[in-house]
Amino acid sequence: MSLTLASALAEMPLVAILRGVKPDEVEAIAEAIVAAGIRILEVPLNSPDPLRSIGLLARGLAGRALVGAGTVLTVDDVAGVAEAGGTVIVSPNTNVEVIRASKARGLLSLPGFFTPTEAFAALEAGADALKLFPAEMASPAAVKAMRAVLPRSTKVLVVGGVSPQTIPPYLAVGVDGFGVGSDLYAAGRSATEVGERAAALTAAIRALNGERTA
């Protein structure tokens, strides 16, 4: 069965954000992350030589993880990611042209939003999921209120300040996933350390899911 956004999030509701990663280290770091159970990885375009890193991961993790780019701001960026082999387009903002360009190329679109107006504009343009950013400025109560008006099928991820301590209250209000950046990877961290951090995060998620189904 091919990996989809829904199946990847169902397996582990985390997106690994590798901001600052370099091509000569990205494969080892990504393997450590995937070994811990995370199935979605993004390389922000303000990282060193990001398209090369995306290309390496797209080839090396084919069938095992969804790979794409973060901080995608323009239609030209979308084209570059597609040509590198990336299949996921993540943005910090709601840009309907970027969303439409992503869908026209058959890519997954995960735009950032902060208000219901932005959320509905993104969905109308074809977004596959919505990324609430920055989550530090939106409480779980705010997410619950927005969830009440969004279509039930809408997948909502939160990004910003995500850690084992901040995840539980968002899960409780129906968030579908989390983008994890500095709590997982920061420039200079070894693959071993990143793998340990990934394992701790996935263990926390599994423990929480076990409590919710018990």
Active site residues: 42, 131
Tell me the backbone φ, ψ of residue 43, rounded to 5 degrees: -110, 110
Q: How far is CA 104 from CA 59, 67, 99, 126, in A?
A: 22, 18, 9, 10
Contacts of 148 (CB under 8 A, 6+ apart): none
Burial readout 2-13 (b: 16 or more C-beta within 10 A, e: otherwise): ebebeebbeebb
- Cα–Cα distance measured from residue 56 to residue 24, given in angstroms and rounded to the nearest whole number: 10
DSSP letter (8 states) at residue 93? S
Q: What is the dihedral of CA 185, 188, 190, 194, to 10 degrees?
A: -10
β-pair partners for 68 = 42, 88
Nearest CA among 99, 32, 51, 69 for reference residue 179: 69
Inter-residue contact 157 to 176 (CB < 8 Å): yes
